[in-house]
Amino acid sequence: MVPVAFQDPIYDFVAVLLTERGLSQNTADAYECDLEQLAAFAAGRGRREWREVSGDDLSLWLETLTAGGAKPHSVRRKLSAARTFAKHLFTTGARRDDFSALAQGPRTTRPLPDSLTEREVEALMAAPVAGTARGARDRAMLELMYGSGLRVSELCALPMSAVDAEGGFLRVLGKGAKERVVPVGRAALKALRDYLAIGRPQLVTRHTTGGALFLSERGVAISRKTFWTSLRELSRRAGIGRDVNPHLLRHSFATHLLAHGADLRAIQEMLGHADIATTQIYTLLERRRLLSEHAARHPRKNMRV
């Protein structure tokens, strides 16, 4: 049971959420449940009302939740409820301070991107059936995605006019309709020329309109779903024993460039990242790879300490 001295301010707060802030009943109920849990914890520490609850009480409650196995996102949600409530108590004059000001939730750890090995990339590039229109298209798409770090949406939307074969670059329309110029390597250029000379003419049908670079077997601009389906089929043919999605090729592009000494700012520009912090995640991936290599191969790795 939550003492009345704790419960009444919670009821008042929930009423404000519903009537003045327009929150849904489910959201208001979630706030109420979280605050009742905090109130019960504070009462168990001898607090008799909200004016006696301290930042240490809140921090210890959060630590107790984490130690008890609560998920980080759940703990962060409860902290958010406590912060909103603490500000309500302060603005309404029920407290002279914000007891949640110094409390911190569990840190969010961003998962590191996965990537293919260079050997897996070679096997994947060899998987399309040579001498067929579809095989030429798939090889050119794979080479471009891995060779230039394109998003699948950018790849499928490429017009014929985007390719400058002589200059060795592509004009890509990325997020926010921002255009960027990306280099195209020799392997990708060769695959593109083969596709344009042999593959694309065979894929043109009466349905073909506009100037889409990559066509489906119906003769229209290839969709992301169609390419994804082809990629799954090719990865199985290549013997890659895990799920391969288009973004994995983009991650592999950045990871392999960095491993071979490319400048991070150059990778940022090629990927079309607005913020360098987004690109820096690949430095963590490379650091993890180096640590793994060191641990596995250093001659004194088995020394006891």
Compute how many other C-beta atoms are within 10 angstroms of the C-beta atom of residue 127: 20
Nearest residue to 230 via CA among 177, 119, 167, 155: 155
User: Tokens in use for 270?
Assistant: 């090629």
User: Tokens in use for 277?
Assistant: 């912090």
Nearest residue to 227 via CA among 219, 216, 218, 235: 216
Q: In what order do the strands lie in the sheet with 169-173?
A: 163-164, 169-173, 179-183
Place of tokens 């579809």: 134
Nearest residue to 293 via CA among 100, 125, 126, 117: 117
- Start-to-end Cα distance in the chain: 54
- Do residues 137 and 200 touch, judged by C-beta distance below 8 A? yes
- Do residues 234 and 142 touch, judged by C-beta distance below 8 A? yes
Q: Virtual CA dihedral for 131, 132, 138, 139, nearest 10 degrees?
A: 10
| 23 three-state secondary structure | coil
| 77 three-state secondary structure | helix
Q: Catalytic site residues?
A: 151, 175, 247, 250, 273, 282
Compute the distance between CA of residue 260 and CA of residue 301 in angstroms, rounded to an integer: 25
Compute the distance between CA of residue 83 and CA of residue 104 in angstroms, rounded to an integer: 10
119 DSSP β-pair partners:
none
Compute the distance between CA of residue 170 and CA of residue 191 in angstroms, rounded to an integer: 14
